[in-house]
Amino acid sequence: MTSQPCLREHLDTPIVDAYDVVVAGGGASGLIAAVSAARAGARTLLVEHSGCLGGTATYGMVAQWIGFFNRDTRVVGGLPYELSEHVRRLGGSDGFHRYVLAEASSNPVPIYNFPFNPEVLKYAADELVQEAGVALRLHARVVAPLMADAGRVGGVVIEDIGGRSAVRAGMVIDATGDATLAAAAGVACAGTEAAQRRERQPCTLVFRMSNVDVARFRALPREEKRALALRGLEEGRIYWESLSFCSTPDYTDAIGLMSRIHDVDALDPADLTRAEVKGRRQIHNIVGFLKERVPGFERASLAGIAAHVGVRETRRIVGRHTLTEEEIVGGARHADTIALGAGPMDLHEANGGTGIALWTPEHPFEIPMRCLVPAELGGVLVTGRAISATRSANGGSRHMGTAMCLGEAAGVLATELLGQHSDALPHERVRAVLRSREALISVDDALAADTPASAFKAAA
Ligand SMILES: Cc1cc2nc3c(=O)[nH]c(=O)nc-3n(C[C@H](O)[C@H](O)[C@H](O)COP(=O)(O)OP(=O)(O)OC[C@H]3O[C@@H](n4cnc5c(N)ncnc54)[C@H](O)[C@@H]3O)c2cc1C
């Protein structure tokens, strides 16, 4: 084994501020976590690496929320539902639609989605955060934990255009999607084992086309879409069995989730770079195929490529409880449930495959609060894609509707834990606050909830 030369640095990092709650990452889960904590009374800082909030929904251009409905039952209320209404009011979406996921694949699944214009979500999220009084730092990366006495996380170290600084926090919420901060603090994680690295789901770089006759494309029979997809695969011009698009509310633009980049460990910077470059090459081929072969795209042009490749899977923490697929299928109930998952269960085939394992659980499933709490370290919670779940359970709990609900719960829990140094979790109080905000936190809540008909648009 060769040992690498090492640069030894001595850093005097100024501690510039102190907050009750600091949230690392302003994606689906983190932006809601920050607003949730602020509304619960915590002085809150939200630190986001990119120039906008929304994460995979905006800089990744994945412009449809799913996970709001299990079959016909709405399972998401509270802040995420409020944000969906706000996006609608701003003209960024026309509401929930019936939609067939992976329609051109061998395995299509009907769901409800909430398609939106990702550019509108950017300023809708700004407004939500500002109205809640959250302090926001964009273009800032959380690079390390600040450890407090007793081995707890007591803040974060941030790097931005101004250099390096530290901020103390009563509680830190890791919403990076990759459990970056938790892992750096020593929280045990799953997903990085050699076997799991080999079966990582492929990445997808998303693109947007303008001047599309969306209605014409949507009206094509499924068999025709499937035949087109298979032809594209045969010609080597598309990369999985799908013509997968969400559309903006004016039906002029189609946002394509059609690239598929295999064998990427998104925790490895060289792999991540390769994924971006390969994704763009794939998009060049896909766009040519669409314009040449697919009705509705004849006059379309490429309007944009996401700023960041979409990453489905990296590491997940080992929490006080690990959500499993057996619990999801078996309808397990938990005294400390703080969010409901809807599915679908969604695992894209790894290792060069072109298929997808996709199915909807019979019932909504309960996610216990303990999935957000590292088994052995205090001062930090994890929300979003990196909560404690098995690989297959994560396939159903990583959708943005669910990630936002987890964020709302993380914000309340962090606030409730301020100043508390025991291991006890105040689940009764957290659940009471969530219920007072009309969050749906049990299957019975979901069955009793009503969704205003105005929230729906006819099938598209
Ligand atoms: C290709 C693809 C398609 C998908 N399709 C759908 C779909 O159709 N509908 C759906 O609901 N879900 C979909 N998902 C799943 C969903 O988008 C993610 O699982 C979800 O966004 C996870 O939310 P999150 O908040 O954990 O992470 P993200 O939304 O990814 O947000 C993480 C945020 O943390 C920031 N960050 C990371 N590290 C740091 C750091 N060190 N310091 C500061 N900030 C940091 C990032 O910049 C980002 O803003 C898809 C995912 C992919 C990749």
CATH number at residue 135: 3.50.50.60
Structure tokens at 38: 């602020």
What does the pLDDT read at residue 412? 98
E strand or H helix at 121, and its extent? helix 118-131
How far is residue 135's CA from residue 217's CA, in Å, rounded to a whole number? 43
Neighbours of 268 (CB within 10 A): 13
Proportion of the chain in helix, strand, coil states, percent, rounded to 5: 35, 25, 40
154 Cβ below 6 A of ligand 1: no
Nearest CA to ligand 1 atom 14: 399
How far is residue 25's CA from residue 41's CA, in Å, rounded to a whole number? 20
65 Cβ below 6 A of ligand 1: yes
Q: Which of 270, 305, 340 is the last residue of a domain?
A: 305
Please tell me whether residues 276 and 338 are part of one structural domain. Answer: no
Within a domain: 9: no
How far is residue 392's CA from residue 191's CA, in Å, rounded to a whole number? 11
50 Cβ below 6 A of ligand 1: yes
Please tell me whether residues 97 and 125 are part of one structural domain. Answer: yes
25 Cβ below 6 A of ligand 1: yes
How far is residue 338's CA from residue 213's CA, in Å, rounded to a whole number? 42
Atom of ligand 1 nearest to the CA of 401: 11
How far is residue 405's CA from residue 428's CA, in Å, rounded to a whole number? 17
257 Cβ below 6 A of ligand 1: yes
Per-residue pLDDT of the chain (460 residues; tens, 9 = 90+): 567 899 999 999 999 999 999 999 999 999 999 999 999 999 999 999 999 999 999 999 999 999 999 999 999 999 999 999 999 999 999 999 999 998 888 889 999 999 999 999 999 999 999 999 999 999 999 999 999 987 899 999 999 999 999 999 999 999 999 999 999 999 999 998 887 777 889 999 999 999 999 999 999 999 999 999 999 999 999 999 889 899 888 889 999 999 999 999 999 999 999 999 999 999 999 999 999 999 999 999 999 999 999 999 999 999 999 999 999 999 999 999 999 999 999 889 898 888 888 899 999 999 999 999 999 999 999 999 999 999 999 999 999 999 999 999 999 999 999 988 788 999 999 999 999 999 999 988 898 886 655 566 544 4
Q: Distance, CA 177 to ligand 1 centroid (Å)?
A: 6
E strand or H helix at 98, and its extent? strand 97-101
E strand or H helix at 316, and its extent? strand 316-317
E strand or H helix at 444, and its extent? helix 443-448
Please tell me whether residues 171 and 27 are part of one structural domain. Answer: yes
Phi-psi domain of 61 (left: phi exceeds 0; alpha: psi -120 through 50; beta: other) = left
Within a domain: 56: yes
Q: Which of 305, 332, 358 is the last residue of a domain?
A: 305
Q: Distance, CA 399 to ligand 1 centroid (Å)?
A: 9
Q: Which string of b and e fits 111-137 if b means at least 16 CB within 10 Å?
A: bbbbbbbbbbbbebbbebbeebebbbb
Q: Distance, CA 103 to ligand 1 centroid (Å)?
A: 23
Atom of ligand 1 nearest to the CA of 142: 42
Please tell me whether residues 257 and 366 are part of one structural domain. Answer: no
CB neighbours of 243 closer than 8 A, spacing ≥ 6?
A: 103, 104, 217, 225, 228, 229, 232, 258, 294
Atom of ligand 1 nearest to the CA of 158: 42
CB neighbours of 286 closer than 8 A, spacing ≥ 6?
A: 207, 232, 237, 238, 239, 256, 258, 259
Pocket test for ligand 1, best of 176, 204, 286 (most atoms within 8 A of CB): 176
Atom of ligand 1 nearest to the CA of 398: 19
Please tell me whether residues 294 and 326 are part of one structural domain. Answer: no
Pocket test for ligand 1, best of 62, 96, 122, 206 (most atoms within 8 A of CB): 62
310 Cβ below 6 A of ligand 1: yes
CB neighbours of 4 closer than 8 A, spacing ≥ 6?
A: none
DSSP H stretches of helix in 257-399: 269-293, 325-330, 391-397
Pocket test for ligand 1, best of 56, 112, 247, 276 (most atoms within 8 A of CB): 56
Q: Which of 271, 305, 339 is the last residue of a domain?
A: 305
Within a domain: 440: yes
What does the pLDDT read at residue 210? 97
Atom of ligand 1 nearest to the CA of 403: 23
What does the pLDDT read at residue 299? 97
Within a domain: 236: yes
Pocket test for ligand 1, best of 81, 400, 402 (most atoms within 8 A of CB): 400
What does the pLDDT read at residue 458? 47
Within a domain: 297: yes
Domain that holds residue 66: 15-190+316-455
Please tell me whether residues 75 and 96 are part of one structural domain. Answer: yes
34 Cβ below 6 A of ligand 1: no
E strand or H helix at 89, and its extent? helix 78-89
Atom of ligand 1 nearest to the CA of 66: 11
Nearest CA to ligand 1 atom 5: 62
How far is residue 114's CA from residue 128's CA, in Å, rounded to a whole number? 18
Please tell me whether residues 380 and 426 are part of one structural domain. Answer: yes
E strand or H helix at 401, and its extent? helix 400-417
What does the pLDDT read at residue 460? 41
400 Cβ below 6 A of ligand 1: yes
Rounded (5°) CA angle 65-69-70? 130
394 Cβ below 6 A of ligand 1: no
Residue 359 · residue 344 · CB < 8 Å: yes
Please tell me whether residues 376 and 227 are part of one structural domain. Answer: no
Number of domains in the chain: 2
Please tell me whether residues 46 and 114 are part of one structural domain. Answer: yes
Q: Count Cβ atoms within 10 A of the Cβ of residue 424 and give its class: 0-12 exposed, 13-18 middle, 19 or more buried.
A: exposed
Please tell me whether residues 232 and 269 are part of one structural domain. Answer: yes
The DSSP call for residue 245 is E
204 Cβ below 6 A of ligand 1: yes
Within a domain: 311: no
Structure tokens at 209: 């086309």
27 Cβ below 6 A of ligand 1: yes
Within a domain: 255: yes
137 Cβ below 6 A of ligand 1: no
Please tell me whether residues 300 and 321 are part of one structural domain. Answer: no
Q: Distance, CA 28 to ligand 1 centroid (Å)?
A: 6
Within a domain: 196: no
Residue 316 bridge partners (DSSP):
190
Please tell me whether residues 129 and 32 are part of one structural domain. Answer: yes
What does the pLDDT read at residue 224? 96
